Structure 1
């Protein structure tokens, strides 16, 4: 039965379960007494919800604490082994697959290297399938126990009702790739395990906002600085983040050609790929046959050698110019969105790190309007190289919370999605 606001009793129960689960997840262990003020629920509702969650194996007791003059209060926490998620990062140099328990403790990982700048769709799909199989086998976990698989990819992700997630990755040669359908074909997972695909910058942002340097911020931008650059915008209206194709903002009319095909994009000046290309063009000694991560390490060593060695002036000049372009690009984000916090992550951002950030910060604040510049901080992300993978695993976890800690129920009246119909049509009769 629905109430005046259209919410049913089932909706209310789901919301109450989700509220208790999330508070225990982020702030636990907590007692039943503490859960009331934390969730806004009455003591009776808290008791009912906790009993329900304990019965489902999602919550367990975790010791007790003394109360003021009364009986000790039992503490509660989320049961780590009551759910599992897989996070996948389709990166520039490798496909990384990690298996986590419900508290995002890593249980197993697998990595598949990619040939430099090679994004063959079939190869990526095979790497993801093999990685999922490997981590499940390493942990001895049945695939049916997964809450879902989250995947962070380059490009714009379109979620369609009939084709699932479709990826438009212009910079990597992906034109309307029906990735979800391809992943379901030959998947090691049963149909009931959902797959969540999103932009890698958004999964990075999700991780930093939930567990990293973004916690507590209402308006933030998380920047992914890798082979290219991207960003995730988090606002009260987009609390789970929205991917922003920041790397394709034009910063120089008739400038360098970007890998997307346009001229003068920020990514043509600030991404690691372009940074190394400019060093090579100016006569820098880029290691032959090395991947981008190794080459960038060599460039940093050339620009910032030990005290007794002379710096490579070309490498240093390219890095300083890159810092100015990156700062100018950040100033546009500051002026447009007026964030309270900007975080820089991604493998290249982490490599450049604290040595590079002061120059980026100086240029960003000098190019931005004074008022928003005075109210923003620019720092490094805190979650390290696994942030995209962790953020990808958060996608099924967030969905699980939204459903009140219940797995999705199959709806026999709904038409099957296109990927399932296609698989049936391919099956020999």
Structure 2
């Protein structure tokens, strides 16, 4: 029998401080009285903890409000410039590096192009490290103000002794991205699948906000998803849950980039759509080509809406989500032109009751949501532990 872990007074205080900070971040600005009501902590505990956070400049005063018969109440907020987070999106065609303050306002951005056929890991890491230097210089932020770097990558992110990335479409098989980043920077680094980082961003700040059970779908050249149950991302036993693009929709169908046949990605991923329309993809600007195709009325578009609707119906029947959010640069393009058709195809292939309980909507955070989501990995650490005590290891 495993004995329950004993919690010290320090553990309890740390947990209370984390709850207070998260509450203030997501529900603030707020007064101490409001924080007492929202957290369930005692007024004395809230007063003591906010005093400490104010002294460390983690929290700042944001004005006053009148109270009933007493002195005006001080309104508090998390200090947006206490520190900064860097978010990185590693995609088929680019490495994008962005700098954010703690309110997730973009302060600087740089992008490096990648050839779809070349994803050399050393080149990708060089772009990330160079991009960090660029955004800090452009944003006027010193290294000491950076709380960490979040990186969103394709494929499966394996955690153990170190972070390894398995991205078959990139030719990455157990790439030690964690160790490579640690060798190139002293900042804390947090690595996750790009669909999951985008999903967290939409869940916290975008179209997924307020949904306890949701699926956020990323469609670019590939297809991935974040599955959220009871407000928590479901990862599965090996952190590979959400590989929606590699669910099968056609038996012995088109060859997918993963090497399998009939995968959803082989029909609704951007590269696959262009290929099915007869548009060369080797040297094309995929985003421009897809945008142009969507203006043509090509029969490939109706087929794509049907395939995607079928893929979403599988989610509806299997998971019964409250909300499905379609994001990613290709997903947003498809949704702006074909959302009605996608919903209709999903309805035609779903059980009536679960479909009626699900809304299918577009993401609100735009094509940069993966980088924003990667930065939320840093923000999550900031909110869950005392800022000064953040771990320096790659996670």
Q: TM-score band, normalised by the shorter chain? A: over 0.9
| 1:334 and 2:316 are equivalent in the alignment | yes
Partners of 1:342 and 1:293 lie apart in 2 by 23
Counterpart of 1:270 in structure 2 is: 268
Shift of residue 286, structure 1, vs aligned partner: 5.6
Partner of 1:293: 287
Q: Is the 8 A contact 2:275 2:281 kept in 1?
A: no
- What is the CA distance between 1:145 and its match in structure 2? 2.5
Distance 1:225 1:7 in 2: 43
Deviations 1:116-140 (A, max 9, x none): 3421111111110110111112223
In structure 2, what is the equivalent of residue 246 of structure 1?
A: 244
Whether 2:128 is the aligned partner of 1:128: answer yes
Matches within 5 A, 1:225-374: 225-236=219-230, 239-242=232-235, 243-280=241-278, 289-303=283-297, 316-374=298-356
Listed as ranges, the matches of 1:130-169 within 5 Å are: 130-161=130-161, 164-169=162-167
Q: How does 1:92-241 map to 2 (within 5 A)?
A: 92-161=92-161, 164-185=162-183, 187=184, 189-190=185-186, 193-236=187-230, 239-241=232-234
Contact 2:188–2:391 (Cα < 8 Å) also in 1: no
Contact 2:157 2:165 in 1 (8 A): yes
4+ residue runs over 3 A deviation: 240-243, 285-289
Q: Could you say which residue in structure 2 is the equivalent of 1:55? A: 55
Count of aligned pairs = 386
The structural deviation recorded for 1:349 is 1.1
Closer/same/farther in 2, CA of residues 409 and 274 from structure 1, 3 Å limit:
closer
Please say if residues 286 and 298 of structure 1, whose CA atoms lie closer than 8 Å, have aligned partners that are also in contact: no
With over 3 angstroms needed to count, the CA separation of the structure-2 counterparts of 1:240 and 1:146, relative to structure 1, is: farther
Whole-angstrom CA distance in 2 between matches of 1:287 and 1:82: 44
Q: State the alpha-carbon separation in 1 of the partners of residues 132 and 323 from structure 2.
A: 35
Distance in structure 2 (CA, Å) of the matches to 1:159 and 1:150: 15
1:14 corresponds in structure 2 to: 14
Q: Quick one: which of 379, 383, 390 aligns to 1:397?
A: 379
Residue matched to 2:390: 408
1:425 is aligned to: none
Once residues 282 and 100 of structure 2 are traced to their aligned partners in structure 1, the CA distance between those partners, rounded to angstroms, is 37
Q: Distance in 1 between the 2:307 and 2:158 partners?
A: 29
Query: Residues 196 and 409 of structure 1: is their aligned pair in 2 closer, same or farther, counting only changes over 3 Å?
Result: closer
Checking the alignment, whether the CA contact within 8 Å between 2:322 and 2:359 is kept in structure 1 is: yes
Which protein has the larger Cα radius of gyration, Structure 1 or Structure 2? 1
List alignment gaps of at least 5 residues for structure 1. 304-315, 411-416, 420-429
Q: Return the offset for 1:89.
A: 0.4
Report if the CA contact (8 A) 1:20-1:35 is conserved: yes
Deviation per CA, 1:319-350: give whole Å up to 9, x if none: 10011111101111111111000000000011
| Residue pair 1:287, 1:295 contacting (<8 A) in 2 also | no
Report deviation, 1:288. 8.5
1:388-427 residue CA offsets vs partner (Å, 9 max, x unmatched): 11110000111121114443267xxxxxx8x9xxxxxxxx
Distance 2:376 2:193 in 1: 13
The CA distance in 1 between the partners of 2:234 and 2:339, in whole Å, is: 23
Deviations along 1:21-78, whole A, 9 cap, x unmatched?
A: 1122112111111110111111001000100100111001111011112211111111
Shift of the 288–219 alpha-carbon distance from structure 1 to 2, 3 Å rule, reads closer
TM-score scaled by length of structure 2: 0.94
Once structures 1 and 2 are overlaid, which stretch shifts more, 114-123 or 224-233? 114-123
Does 1:379 pair with 2:361? yes
Moved more, 240-249 or 57-66: 240-249
- Residue pair 2:89, 2:194 contacting (<8 A) in 1 also: yes
**Structure 2: distance between partners of 1:176 and 1:5:** 34
Contact 2:381 2:390 survives alignment (8 Å): no
Determine whether 1:82 maps to 2:76. Answer: no
What TM-score does the superposition give when structure 1 sets the normalisation length? 0.87
Q: Secondary structure of the equivalent of 1:48?
A: helix
d(CA) in 2 for partners of 1:317, 1:20? 53
CA shift, 1:92, in A, is: 2.1
Q: Distance in 1 between matches of 2:364 and 2:43?
A: 37
Between the aligned partners of 1:287 and 1:251, the Cα distance in structure 2 is 23
Do the aligned residues in 1 keep the contact of 2:17 with 2:49 (CA within 8 Å)? Answer: yes
